[in-house]
Amino acid sequence: MTIKQIFDDMCYGPAPESRAEAMAWIGKNAPFGHWINGTFTPPGAVFTTHNPADGQALAQVTQGNATDIDTAVRAARRAQPKWARLPGHTRAAYLYALARLVQKHSRLLAVTETLDSGKPIREARDIDVPLVARHFYYHAGLAQLLAAEQPAMEPLGVCGAVIPWNFPLLMLAWKVAPALAAGNTVVLKPAEYTPLTALLFAQISREAGLPPGVLNVVTGDGTTGAALVDHPDVNKIAFTGSTDVGRKIRMATAGTGKALTLELGGKSPYIVFDDADLDSAVEGLVDAIWFNGGQVCCAGSRLLVQEGVAERFHTKLRARMDGLRIGDPMDKCIDMGAIVAPQQLAQITAMVDASEGEKYQVPCPAGCYYPPTLITGLGSASTLMQEEIFGPVLVSMTFRTPAEAVELANNTRYGLAASIWTENVNLALDMAPKVKAGVIWINGSNMFDAAAGFGGLRESGFGREGGWEGLLAYLRRKEARKPLKSVAAMPEPLQADVTGLDRTAKLYIGGKQARPDGGYSQPIWSAKGKLLGHIGQGNRKDIRNAVEAAQAAKGWGKTSAHLRAQILFYIAENLSARAEEFARRLADMTGKSGAAEVEASIARLFTYAAWADKFDGAVKSVPIRGVALAMNEPCGVIGAICPDEAPLLGLISLMAPAIAMGNTCVLVPSQAYPLAATDLYQVLDTSDLPGGVVNIVTGAHADLTKPLASHLEVDAMWCFGAAALSGMVEREAAGNLKRTWVNHGFATDWAQAEGRAFLQAATEVKTVWVPYGE
């Protein structure tokens, strides 16, 4: 072939990467034991891992069991106090050393990753490994700054990390780097298919002098991961994987007190407007869906293209697909490598074969490979438009208007990421807040950095990876934790004091007083035996009505922060005008003076009126020509079980930050002393608060917690009631994987309970990547 023909054809010859060094390392160390307490254990019962590209055996790895997990957790527990006591600078030095070692061993790590997972060597070499080093560098900086920037926080303890097979080494970095920076120790369970780079990294960590027990790796299948999740001495579980498994982990950890973050599946929209640079959008789409063979949780697998350019865009896309190179992932010229395992290949094949629509596929090699695929002509309810395929399969629909694009983009149970392509920056920045996803890429896709939080909404999980927001998930507030004492309503007296006209407090739903659906009421007595009134006993129908009202009022989140601040100030003003009345009510119900609680409630309203327009986002320092905006957005509808021990202050301490940040809420007030809440809705009525922003359903906590926590239209659930309710909330929240914030039976000092922790619970961090330049 002549030089002219090469330039005309632009064909690539083979450029194979040597696997000799990686295979020598495997041969030297296999069969592998676990990495526990700074050394490899003797191998136990083993299983064989395979190279997806050729099906050949790679290594024998030990199948971990509950005893192995217990040994690793005990090693991590022994090491944790000393690791946590190290100065931040010392931990930073270890993390810096790990980052440098990743760079020093970068080619060995990249080749081993490719052999283990089937991803192209150029992706492992040029994307995964540099990002791994970046995470350890970044978190070295956070460790250095932690004591000064977060002096009130401390590490959680022992963290269990369960990671998937699509980015084995990068997912390790996402979990291990923040955990170690915060002062925790780690037990890591890598995926059964791809354990080798975790074992290699653990062995390399010895070269950094990492103390024994700080990082432990136990290999095995799902039963090994379940043993780690269930271990009673683990303080946090960090999981990346499928939504179904994430839901099981949420159920398994419910009520245990374990912290939990979940980064789960996705069905991310890739939205192309008619004014977009179509050629750039096609290239971006190649990275969005065929990067790593489509085995990416945030893959842009749902193409939404504006009707006027759809045919032209699809034509360009098919032409680009024809040029994709599929084959041996060790070849540096390959665009797409092998599917990780025959089981995954079979699942992808079955889903596509069962789908309707017009399919376009390009040739690919025999073996564990699947061709890049485009499916057009689907409807929004089609299975492949709704379900995650986790393979190189793109499904496409058209839209006409931006409003329709938003509706289609949000027509999914997931909410991990989205790409928006348009040359109109006003349109792009208008769309970004409307699309329900934790990460938005404008005119780009699959942009990641340790400084920019990554994570999802809805059934894509909760928590963030990266940035200060990611580190906070590995910390807790330093405080003495006391068991919550139960509070009972005043009992019915032997001789009742009943005077005056009857007073029956109703529920407060949609800005109106509402009778309880069940028709039941309960008397409320004073400490001296006086009948103070009756409250309605709410039921699941009342909860359903309240959630519907809260959903209908979600326009509250679009109002300006200044307006929300004004209304909170106005609520405080009107409460202040009736302070003596509220104080008397509290004194009647509790037998104690209520003046201080009322004054604290007024001050609390002022606090969140002040915060409403001051809880700012951030511009992240990411290595692009552009910015990554970390925006604090409201969660949506927040359900809250309010405390018994502070009937007015506790309710306001939950209500005020929720509505200050733009949420609507359904509040179940103190079961023992509910009249403070039913008096409050008269204040809300006179304070310009739109109907439905705050809804109050009185009744027994045990009866109302389950329907509120399980409601699929509730986006976050808080519980500061009795201990048993915390587990119920976390179990019921698994239905739509809503965020939870519960007390686990520990008391809260409501006189001091205010500030950023409440604001963070009331918001989601959305990261919007905005590249710029010609």
| pLDDT attached to residue 22 | 96
Query: Looking at the DSSP assignment, which residues form a beta bridge with residue 271?
Result: 304, 420
CB atoms within 10 A of CB 117: 33
Do the Cβ atoms of 438 and 763 come closer than 8 Å?
Answer: no
Q: Model confidence over 66-79: pLDDT tens digits?
A: 999 999 999 999 99
| pLDDT attached to residue 1 | 65
| pLDDT attached to residue 770 | 94
CB atoms within 10 A of CB 1: 9
pTM: 0.94
206: closest CA among 110, 302, 278, 105? 105
Residue 538: phi, psi to the nearest 5? -70, 160
Give CA 78 to chain center in angstroms. 30
Alpha-carbon span 676 to 15, nearest angstrom: 74
Q: Model confidence over 603-641: pLDDT tens digits?
A: 999 999 999 999 999 999 899 889 999 999 999 999 999
Which ranges constitute the DSSP H helices of 462-594?
A: 467-471, 540-552, 561-577, 579-590
Angstrom CA distances, 36 to 68, 171, 211, 219, 615, stand at 9, 19, 11, 11, 43
Given phi > 0 = left and psi -120 to 50 = alpha, else beta, which region is 180? alpha
| pLDDT attached to residue 490 | 80
Give CA 5 to chain center in angstroms. 51
pLDDT of 259 higher than 80: yes
Q: Model confidence over 697-751: pLDDT tens digits?
A: 999 999 999 999 999 999 999 999 988 899 999 999 999 999 999 999 999 999 9
Alpha-carbon span 101 to 560, nearest angstrom: 48
Which ranges constitute the DSSP H helices of 150-277?
A: 168-182, 196-205, 222-230, 243-253
- Confidence grade of residue 2 (pLDDT, cut at 50, 70, 90): confident
Residue 442: phi, psi to the nearest 5? -100, 125
Alpha-carbon span 416 to 289, nearest angstrom: 14
| pLDDT attached to residue 366 | 92
Angstrom CA distances, 272 to 312, 406, 411, 428, stand at 12, 12, 17, 11
Q: Which amino acid is residue 30, in one-letter code?
A: A
106: closest CA among 195, 17, 27, 177? 17
State whether the Cα torsion 145-149-151-156 is positive or negative: negative
Q: What average pLDDT does this structure show over 85-99?
A: 97
State whether the Cα torsion 557-561-565-570 is positive or negative: negative
Q: Which of 159, 297, 368, 719 is catalytic?
A: 297
| pLDDT attached to residue 10 | 66
Angstrom CA distances, 161 to 111, 164, 587, 744, stand at 24, 10, 49, 22
490: closest CA among 524, 462, 439? 524
| pLDDT attached to residue 3 | 73
Query: Looking at the DSSP assignment, which residues form a beta bridge with residue 512?
Result: 509
769: closest CA among 288, 127, 126, 129? 288
State whether the Cα torsion 59-60-64-67 is positive or negative: negative
pLDDT of 598 higher than 70: yes
Q: Across all residues in the chain, what is the average pLDDT?
A: 95
Alpha-carbon span 504 to 587, nearest angstrom: 19
Alpha-carbon span 224 to 233, nearest angstrom: 15
pLDDT of 531 higher than 90: no
263 in catalytic set = yes
| pLDDT attached to residue 502 | 66
Q: What percent of the chain has pLDDT over 70?
A: 99
* Coil/strand/helix, residue 606: helix
Query: Looking at the DSSP assignment, which residues form a beta bridge with residue 667?
Result: 640, 696
pLDDT of 338 higher than 90: yes
Alpha-carbon span 45 to 217, nearest angstrom: 16
pLDDT of 527 higher than 90: no
The tokens for 31 are 């069969």
141: closest CA among 106, 169, 105, 177? 177
Q: Which of 113, 263, 732, 754 is catalytic?
A: 263
3-state helix, strand, coil in the chain (%, to 5): 45, 20, 35
Q: Model confidence over 536-585: pLDDT tens digits?
A: 999 999 999 999 999 999 999 999 999 999 999 999 999 999 999 999 99
User: Cα dihedral angle (423, 427, 433, 435), rounded to 10 degrees?
Assistant: -80
Q: Is the peptide bond before 269 cis (omega within 30 degrees of 0)?
A: no
User: Cα dihedral angle (282, 285, 287, 292), rounded to 10 degrees?
Assistant: -130
